[in-house]
């Protein structure tokens, strides 16, 4: 496993994308790229996208420009590996829901059909479990089947958490004649995708496995943003508006909003910044104390006294150190979180009562409502472009990689790099600084 938490530990070798073979077939869309050269708006397939985007970051590598770690650009290739007339593709969606899943499915199907002439596309039901067993029954994904799915939330294929035996999944793919598999999923599912790719390699099967990284938590590293995140945090701002309306319409009102975000507080931060009406943001990355003169409860009471009301946004993974962890995990191996929303509700109520101060507490938990909706316009565009990049990568014979956007460029990222660490809000970074500026909350709540 590559540990990618420290960018300096990433070597050019870590960023090398695996191939099932060398591309030797002229692509049906070669005309789109022939004659193009790198420009501020396009990266030629022979060029590379630098990992570091600051001078100091690059200088810290103590090497020449040619040796700087860099990513393979995404996009169509002049030559491809798979013969479109003999290619069958599979698609599977795994893990929790995320806005844009259907957009990616539709984007893959239409890109394969319209630009490569690959019309044998199959969708596996309910995550990886749809790829094993005697009764595997993939759905044929035709143009008609995907016609209007991008207007719906969820995934038409169904989804589930949990892994399956990779060699059994490869057996199924071989039996169905599938040589290109798209896995739309979060870190656990992407690790599963890498295992499928390795198992195929061991068995001598030319199978391209391409991941399209999915998570509303935006916690996949070396991606500017994961798809669905923007729709999800935008949706969360509706709950913040409701909480503010309630809190500011009652004497001594506190609106407490809990949003998703297991280990990364991006949804909480972005939703708070988008509404610009929030007084405290509590996220997993920034520890806080409830009690004491500098603790959250005292600061909240001060704010309500001064302002008449306050709005608090808490990410579900915040303040987990206030609980005893019982070791429970879900089917993906994620720790089951304790209910920070419930604890805050209880402690805020008790604290105001103990201080003899009036309080009207309104608790809003939008829960799954922020991720079960269709993608907004921005995410719809992003999903389509990720799907196009995924098809180009697969047809060119790349494998064990995900498509993503880094510094605004579409790139290929080897799965171990995308799953080797977690994207989190940096308490010393500019996003958290913006949150502190916008909320006026103290830098430390202890």
Residues contacting 266, CB < 8 A, separation 6+:
217, 218, 219, 229, 233, 423, 425, 431
Closer residue to ligand F6P in complex, CB, 45/217: 217
Residue nearest to ligand F6P according to CB distances in the complex: 260
Closer residue to ligand F6P in complex, CB, 114/330: 330
Burial state string for 353-364 with b = 16 or more CB within 10 A and e = fewer than 16: eeeeeebbbbbb
Is residue 179 a contact residue for ligand F6P (CB under 6 A)? no
Q: What are phi and psi of 73, to 5 degrees?
A: -70, 150
Stretch that binds ligand F6P, among 171-179, 238-246, 254-262, 424-432 (CB under 6 A): 254-262
Catalytic residue among 52, 217, 365, 379: 217
Is residue 192 a contact residue for ligand F6P (CB under 6 A)? no
Pick one of 216, 310, 359, 400: the residue that binds ligand F6P (CB under 6 A).
216
Question: Rounded to the nearest whole angstrom, what is the least distance from the CB of residue 65 to ligand F6P in the complex?
Answer: 38
Question: Rounded to the nearest whole angstrom, what is the least distance from the CB of residue 270 to ligand F6P in the complex?
Answer: 14
Chain positions 88 to 107 lying near ligand F6P, rule: CB under 6 A, are: 96
- The long-range contacts involving 61-69, CB below 8 angstroms and separated by at least 24 positions, are 61/8, 67/12, 68/12, 69/10, 69/11, 69/12, 69/14, 69/15
Of the chain, the end-to-end C-alpha distance in Å amounts to 36
Is residue 261 a contact residue for ligand F6P (CB under 6 A)? yes
Question: Rounded to the nearest whole angstrom, what is the least distance from the CB of residue 240 to ligand F6P in the complex?
Answer: 17
Question: Rounded to the nearest whole angstrom, what is the least distance from the CB of residue 217 to ligand F6P in the complex?
Answer: 5
**Structure-token match 């809990």, residue found:** 258
Pick one of 235, 262, 362, 412: the residue that binds ligand F6P (CB under 6 A).
262
Closer residue to ligand F6P in complex, CB, 14/238: 238
Question: Rounded to the nearest whole angstrom, what is the least distance from the CB of residue 318 to ligand F6P in the complex?
Answer: 12
| Among candidate residues 1, 400, 413, the one with its CA nearest the CA of residue 223 | 413
Is residue 339 a contact residue for ligand F6P (CB under 6 A)? no
Asked about 217 being catalytic, the answer comes back as: yes
Is residue 330 a contact residue for ligand F6P (CB under 6 A)? yes
Question: Rounded to the nearest whole angstrom, what is the least distance from the CB of residue 97 to ligand F6P in the complex?
Answer: 7
**How far is residue 175's CA from residue 268's CA, in Å, rounded to a whole number?**
45
**How far is residue 262's CA from residue 37's CA, in Å, rounded to a whole number?**
42
Closer residue to ligand F6P in complex, CB, 115/421: 421
Is residue 319 a contact residue for ligand F6P (CB under 6 A)? no
Closer residue to ligand F6P in complex, CB, 295/367: 367
Is residue 260 a contact residue for ligand F6P (CB under 6 A)? yes
Using a 10 angstrom Cβ sphere, with 0-12 exposed, 13-18 middle and 19 or more buried, the burial of residue 88 is middle
Is residue 223 a contact residue for ligand F6P (CB under 6 A)? no
CA dihedral 101, 103, 104, 110 (to 10 degrees): 150
Closer residue to ligand F6P in complex, CB, 42/325: 325
- Catalytic positions are 217
Contact residues toward ligand F6P (CB under 6 A) are 96, 186, 215-217, 260-262, 316, 330, 371
């Amino acid at each position: 496993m590559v540990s990618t938490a420290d960018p300096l530990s990433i070597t050019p070798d870590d960023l090398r994308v695996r191939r099932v073979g060398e591309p030797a077939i002229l692509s049906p869309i070669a005309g789109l790229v022939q004659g193009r050269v790198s420009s501020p708006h396009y990266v030629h397939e022979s060029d590379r996208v630098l990992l570091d985007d600051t001078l100091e970051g690059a200088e810290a590598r103590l090497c020449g420009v040619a040796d700087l770690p860099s990513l393979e650009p995404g996009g169509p290739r002049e030559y491809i590996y798979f013969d479109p007339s003999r290619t069958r593709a599979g698609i599977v969606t795994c893990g929790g829901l995320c806005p844009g899943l259907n957009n990616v499915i539709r984007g893959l199907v239409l890109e394969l059909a319209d630009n490569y002439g690959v019309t044998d596309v199959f969708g596996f039901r309910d995550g990886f479990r749809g790829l094993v067993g005697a009764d595997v029954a993939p759905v044929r994904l035709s143009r008609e089947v995907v016609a209007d799915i991008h207007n719906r939330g969820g995934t038409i294929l169904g989804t589930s958490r949990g892994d399956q035996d990779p060699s059994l999944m490869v057996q199924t793919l071989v039996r169905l004649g599938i040589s290109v598999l798209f896995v739309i999923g979060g870190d656990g599912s992407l690790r599963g995708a890498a295992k499928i790719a390795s198992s195929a390699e061991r068995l001598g099967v030319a199978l391209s496995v391409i991941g399209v990284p999915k998570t509303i938590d935006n916690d996949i590293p070396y991606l500017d943003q994961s798809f669905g995140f923007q729709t999800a945090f935008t949706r969360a701002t509706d709950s913040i508006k409701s909480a503010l309306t309630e809190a500011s319409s009652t004497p001594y009102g506190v609106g407490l909003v809990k949003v998703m975000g297991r280990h990364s507080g991006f949804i909480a931060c972005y939703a708070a910044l988008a509404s610009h009406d929030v007084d405290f943001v509590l996220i997993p990355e920034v520890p806080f104390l409830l009690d004491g003169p500098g603790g959250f409860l005292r600061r909240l009471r001060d704010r309500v006294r001064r302002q008449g009301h306050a709005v608090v946004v808490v990410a579900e993974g915040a303040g987990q150190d206030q609980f005893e962890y019982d070791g429970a995990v879900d089917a993906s191996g994620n720790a089951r979180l304790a209910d920070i929303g419930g604890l805050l509700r209880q402690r805020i109520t008790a604290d105001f009562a103990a201080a003899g101060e009036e309080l009207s507490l309104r608790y809003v938990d939008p829960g799954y409502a922020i991720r079960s909706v269709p993608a907004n316009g921005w995410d719809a565009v992003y999903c389509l472009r990720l799907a196009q990049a995924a098809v180009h990568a697969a047809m060119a014979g790349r494998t064990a990689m995900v498509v993503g956007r880094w510094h605004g460029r579409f790139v290929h990222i080897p799965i171990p790099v995308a799953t080797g660490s977690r994207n989190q809000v940096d308490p010393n970074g500019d996003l958290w600084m913006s949150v502190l500026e916008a909320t006026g909350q103290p830098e430390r709540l202890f």
